[in-house]
Amino acid sequence: MSASMIDWNVAVQTGTRLVRPGPQVSHEEARQVVDELRELSRLAQGHVLDFTGIQAERDSAPATIVDRPGWIRANVDGFKVVLEPLMEQMQERRGTGLLSGGAGGVMVQAVGSRVTGMQVGAILAYMASRVLGQYELFLPPDPSGRAPTGRLTLVAPNIVQVEQELGVDPRDFRLWVCLHEETHRTQFTGVPWLREYVQDQMTKFLLASDLDPGAMLDRLRDAAEAVADAVRGGDSSLIDAIQSPEQREILDRLTAVMTLVEGHGDYVMDAVGPEVVPSVQQIRARFQGRRDGGSRMDKTIRRVLGIDLKMKQYAEGSRFVRRVVAEAGMDGFNKIWQSPETLPTHAEIKEPADWMNRVVGPRELDAPPEANEA
Question: DSSP per residue over 239-255, as a string?
Answer: HHHT--HHHHHHHHHHH
pLDDT band at 98 (very low <50, low <70, confident <90, very high): very low
pLDDT band at 71 (very low <50, low <70, confident <90, very high): very high
Show the DSSP H helices in the chain as ranges.
8-18, 27-52, 68-94, 102-128, 156-166, 170-190, 194-207, 213-231, 238-241, 245-271, 280-292, 296-305, 307-333, 346-350, 352-355
pLDDT at 234 over 70: no
pLDDT at 236 over 60: no
C-beta separation of 155 from 132 below 8 A: yes
Question: Which among 261, 274, 277, 78 is positioned nearest to 177, based on CA atoms?
Answer: 277
Q: What is the pLDDT of residue 241?
A: 53
pLDDT band at 107 (very low <50, low <70, confident <90, very high): very low
Write the pLDDT tens digit of every residue in 313-367: 778 999 999 999 999 999 999 999 999 999 999 899 999 999 999 999 875 545 4
Helical pair 68-94 and 102-128, crossing angle rounded to 10 deg: 150
Furthest-apart CA pair in the chain: how many Å?
91
Spell out a b/e string for 259-276, using b for 16 or more CB atoms within 10 Å of the CB, else e. bbbbbbbbbbbbebeeeb
Say which residue, 188 or 199, is predicted with more confidence.
Answer: 188
Of 4-13, 25-34, 210-219, which gets the smallest average pLDDT? 210-219
Of 88-92, 99-103, 321-325, which gets the smallest average pLDDT? 99-103
Task: Work out the mean pLDDT of the chain and round it to a whole number.
Answer: 80
Of 5-9, 198-202, 211-215, which gets the smallest average pLDDT? 211-215
Describe the strand order of the beta sheet including 151-155 as a list of residue ranges.
64-66, 151-155, 133-136
Tell me the C-alpha to C-alpha distance, in Å, between residue 198 and each of 90, 154, 188, 257, 282: 20, 22, 10, 8, 34
C-beta separation of 230 from 304 below 8 A: yes
Residues 6+ apart with CB under 8 A from 182: 41, 44, 45, 47, 48, 152
The 3-state DSSP class for residue 153 equals strand
Query: Cα separation of 260 and 344, whole Å?
Result: 8
Of 96-110, 124-138, 334-348, which gets the smallest average pLDDT? 96-110
Q: What percent of the chain has pLDDT over 90?
A: 46
- pTM score, two decimals? 0.80
Q: What is the pLDDT of residue 137?
A: 84
Q: What is the pLDDT of residue 120?
A: 85
Query: Cα separation of 29 and 80, whole Å?
Result: 34
Q: What is the CA radius of gyration of the chain?
A: 22
Of 43-47, 95-99, 228-232, 236-240, which gets the smallest average pLDDT? 95-99
Query: Cα separation of 315 and 313, whole Å?
Result: 5
Say which residue, 313 or 199, is predicted with more confidence.
Answer: 199
Element (H, E) at 151: strand 151-155
Say which residue, 350 or 303, is predicted with more confidence.
Answer: 350
| Residue 279 neighbours by CB distance under 10 Å | 15
Dump the DSSP string for 217-228: HHHHHHHHHHHH
pLDDT band at 141 (very low <50, low <70, confident <90, very high): low
| Residue 55 neighbours by CB distance under 10 Å | 12
Query: Cα separation of 158 and 220, whole Å?
Result: 34
pLDDT band at 261 (very low <50, low <70, confident <90, very high): very high
